[in-house]
């Protein structure tokens, strides 16, 4: 699935990527518990990364520009702390109508078009991430559960 996975992340739609990951998960002997979590998680992360990919303004959690959406970049963003940072970066960028808090060029930052945060926000809210105050932390139990979901996806990719 490796080469096919890279092609998916480079150009496929959110639905195509999620379907491929779910199909791969169905071939594994994973608990139904994890199967219920993988789709929403993948959709939440990709709901932001794909619009960034399509505008050519992808960046990693350290703010550095990335040319291509890869499984590795997806996994970098799958960390709960990184996701929290991403939702606040995009929210602030939506307000400013340009990409903020990254190391991208000014020209790239101006390419930004506001991104709908409903899917990612809903996902993070389910895990008690405060979407009003970035300084507030989330429960460690939710972090651990989320890491389990991330580990299942990592094993698929």
d(CA 43, CA 1): 19
Predicted model pTM: 0.91
Closest CA relative to residue 106, chosen from 117, 118, 96 = 96
Residue 134: what are its φ and ψ, rounded to 5°? -65, -25
Structure tokens at 70: 């890869």
**Selected residue with higher pLDDT from 48 and 128:** 48
In percent, how much of the chain has pLDDT > 70? 99
Number of domains comprising the chain: 1
CB 44 within 8 A of CB 153: no
- Interval 40-90: pLDDT, tens: 999 999 999 999 999 999 999 999 999 999 999 999 999 888 999 999 999
**Residue 105 domain boundaries:** 3-156
């Amino acid at each position: 699935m490796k080469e096919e996975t890279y092609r998916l992340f480079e150009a496929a739609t959110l639905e195509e990527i999620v379907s491929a990951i779910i199909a791969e998960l169905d071939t594994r002997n994973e608990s139904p518990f994890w199967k219920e979590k993988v789709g929403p998680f993948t959709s939440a992360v990709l709901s932001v990364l794909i619009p960034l990919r399509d505008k050519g303004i992808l960046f990693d959690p350290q703010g550095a520009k990335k040319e291509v959406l890869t499984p590795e970049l997806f996994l970098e963003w799958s960390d709960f702390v990184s996701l929290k940072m991403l939702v606040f970066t995009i929210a602030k960028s939506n307000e400013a109508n340009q990409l903020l808090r990254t190391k991208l060029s000014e020209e790239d930052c101006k390419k930004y078009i506001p991104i709908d945060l409903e899917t990612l926000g809903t996902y993070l809210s389910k895990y008690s991430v405060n979407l009003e105050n970035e300084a507030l932390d989330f429960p460690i139990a939710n972090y651990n559960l989320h890491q389990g979901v991330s580990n299942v996806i990592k094993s698929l990719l």
